[in-house]
Structure 1
């Protein structure tokens, strides 16, 4: 079987659906989750790119910066990313306590109930026009994305073992990509007739579907744990709320995964900021900017879907994680080399599509299969640290780094991107080497104290 035969890929997909009932619920779960997120993402990106600081920041901050002579619109993204990182750090011990003290049947639904409640609250804020709602929404959507998606993949590692993950994670990713394609389409169609506030209620309804999927998948997670003799997720995990930080520091694979994500986020953040500068110049209105970002998301997710359906499963089963981790890193490195030589706006958009599509279709499923081979504490606690604090720490680092190097021009920004992409490639190689020492199906040790 070769990756150039799409008919065989479709047949394999149909066979996987027939043989794996939980795959149906996992597909619906990830579809609903990413559809709900991508309904919100264009709104968030438009807020970040907005030149109207009064619509984003609270009045007191706008007035204070004005008295100091600071042009707040020049530092919008830097401030938003900084606050996001602080919020992530503050929420991490709360999440660790939730995972440690409550069984899976409690903390998984609770996460999504909190998300639904927050969306209803933001609907009220947008309807009433509360000052500072734009900044609060920008930060909250970042938190929404990190914790909701992290919890999803942690739960998938409870439901599926390593062998099944190699077969179906590409398909599950494709289900999410379909949701990511539908989400921006919903936003484009409904943002004008319904308004931004009512889009939040659409996203809340999709989160309710995620809750249903969690309930349906729970028996399959229990079955997998009994079959492999793993610690049951139906009991509280225990251990320290800071165990995730220690595990990332102590274990070579987790350190390598943290480095890979740090530099992977870094190359994306540099591009994101260049893109935001373009949007401010050519799409000054909120609705026009929202439509522009929705179109970019559509292009990214279209390419992602094709790769997930035709290539991801084949690469993972035949070659393991090496090509799916190294391939995107090398492609990004080459893309930044091209941008350094010719920093054209259209080329920036193309490299943006390649960067995000490679992450979603190959690198993300590859990393997630590795978590099926580690203990539950690494799966939930260490993974949450990597996916939230490390991720947003990278955002914070590179958004301010971009601000500094952008003073020297776009060429310097892209040259910095070459260095970050080279470090990302080295980290991917370190992950590939470290994962060779993992067992296929580990038995959970006692939790860290």
Structure 2
């Protein structure tokens, strides 16, 4: 904790960054158990519109047997449709406009969902599941892109572990709030709690703006207040052209694939043992709490030391190796409790190690790569992989549980190989720039914006 106190004293924007990520993930994790309960529901009428259920039945299909497959497919389609909208915002509007706009739209959506859940609108589960997945990816992607504007590489290695811990603290408290409030308030009113946390995020964006401008000026760059311009699809081109972005995309493909296989097995267990919406919500909230407690301990005790002393390589490689071992154990002993344990280890190591390590690298690339290329990787590629592997799981599961875990082990091996390719590719990036430290580590001048 002495290291945290010292970092807070030396780095004023760290306070606002911690609050920003805390509120963002707390608000999201209030919603996540509700979303997971929708995905694990065996009651098609709760999730899908009546018209969709009737259409499926007329074609000899029962939607309750394809809940996650349909939801992930819809999520991918909507994500692809929204990608050019996000690209247009980034290309045409300055940062001070599009960042608050993104969060403002999410807040308005939560008020609309409050009405939908309160009035029991048919199909609300499907729309909410899709929206929550999109919210998580876009909101968190924007957060880390903004952090790469505020901090340079050396500073990021010093503080990203703490920022991640702040977010994880929010992720720990969010499911707890859901467990405590879901019975007395009901699901609909939980959405208003999340909206309040997102409103604080908008405040943090405004308060961090002077440091983002100061860092850009210290490096002789534009302030980041102008629009970046370019095509709305420029992010795809950047991912294809930049070796480090290609390596990140490949790693994410295998990482998300392995996680999706595991997530689907967990959902199957929840459908069997927790058929009610409230019971399933509480079950997923307990899993989330365990994940985030592990993550925050790792972030406080290990992440900063690893990144500062040994660079990104260990933090990038360890999650894949842990997951490879976990799937090996599951193939030998496919017990429900072991599935939960491996899920906790997988998500905890991803949040605490791999994610901060990858995000530090974005401080060493240009702003189009941070906002455009990163958005493509974290949204379209992420959800495209989700879509592919949710159907892969459906096919592989026909051969039994162990076949699913064997496929997961192959994906974990690909994830580890991809992480090594990131380690190699990042060696060609510019190193940390310490020239901006003196400008960064002091308060902005009065009236500066």
* CA apart distance, 1:251: 1.1
Displacement after TM superposition at 1:72 (Å)? 1.1
1:150 pairs, out of 141, 145, 152, with 141
Once the two structures are superposed, the pairs formed by residues 21-420 of structure 1 within 5 Å of their partners are 21-420=12-411
1:426 aligns with 2:417: yes
Q: Tell me the CA shift for residue 68 of structure 1.
A: 2.4
Following TM superposition, by how much is the alpha carbon of 1:128 offset from its aligned partner in structure 2, in angstroms?
A: 1.3
With normalisation by structure 1, the TM-score equals 0.96
Question: Residues 266-314 of structure 1, C-alpha deviation per residue, up to 9 Å, x if partnerless?
Answer: 1110000000000000000000000000000000000000000000000
Unpaired segments ≥5 residues, structure 1:
1-9, 443-449
Q: What is the distance in 1 between the residues matched to 2:147 and 2:85? A: 22
Residue ranges of structure 2 left out of the alignment (5+ in a row): 434-449
CA distance in 1, matches of 2:348, 2:82: 29
Alignment partners' CA distance in 2, 1:339 and 1:229: 53
Distance in 2 between residues matched to 1:283 and 1:341, nearest whole Å: 25
CA drift at 1:131: 1.0
Shift of 1:441: 5.0
Counterpart contact for 1:184–1:298, Cα < 8 Å: yes
Q: Equivalent residue of 1:129, what SS?
A: coil
Match of 1:436 in 2: 427
Deviations 1:246-277 (A, max 9, x none): 01011111000001111111111000000000
Distance 1:326 1:363 in 2: 8
Confirm or deny: 8 A CA contact 1:162 1:441 kept in the other structure. Answer: yes
CA distance in 2, matches of 1:278, 1:266: 19
1:433 and 1:81 mapped to 2: Cα distance? 33
Contact persistence 1:373–1:438 (CA under 8 A): yes
Return the alpha-carbon distance in structure 2 between the equivalents of residues 228 and 86 of structure 1: 39
TM-score (norm 2): 0.96
Mapped to 2, the partners of 1:207 and 1:59 lie a distance apart of: 32
Equivalent residues of 2:361, 2:426 under 8 A apart: yes
RMSD of Structure 2 on Structure 1 (CA): 0.8
Q: Distance in 1 between matches of 2:145 and 2:243?
A: 20
Shift of 1:231: 2.9
Please give the alpha-carbon distance, in whole angstroms, between the structure 2 residues aligned to 1:334 and 1:141. Answer: 31
- Give the Cα–Cα distance (whole angstroms) in 2 for the partners of residues 373 and 250 of structure 1: 16
CA contact (8 A) 2:76 2:383 kept: yes
CA positional deviation for 1:230: 2.3
Q: Secondary structure at the match of 1:436?
A: helix
Contact 1:247 1:382 in 2 (8 A): yes
Q: Is the 8 A contact 1:261 1:391 kept in 2?
A: yes
Confirm or deny: 8 A CA contact 2:53 2:62 kept in the other structure. no
Q: Any idea what the Cα deviations from partners look like across 1:31-74, whole Å, max 9, x if unmatched?
A: 00000000000000000000110010000011122222212111
Contact 2:214 2:223 in 1 (8 A): no
- Look up the SS of the partner of 2:225 in the other structure: coil
- CA–CA separation in structure 2 for the residues paired with 1:345 and 1:99: 44
Number of equivalent positions: 433
CA contact (8 A) 1:151 1:380 kept: yes
Aligned-pair CA distance for 1:339: 0.8
What do the CA deviations read for 1:12-38 (whole angstroms, capped 9, x no partner)?
Answer: 111001111100000000000000000
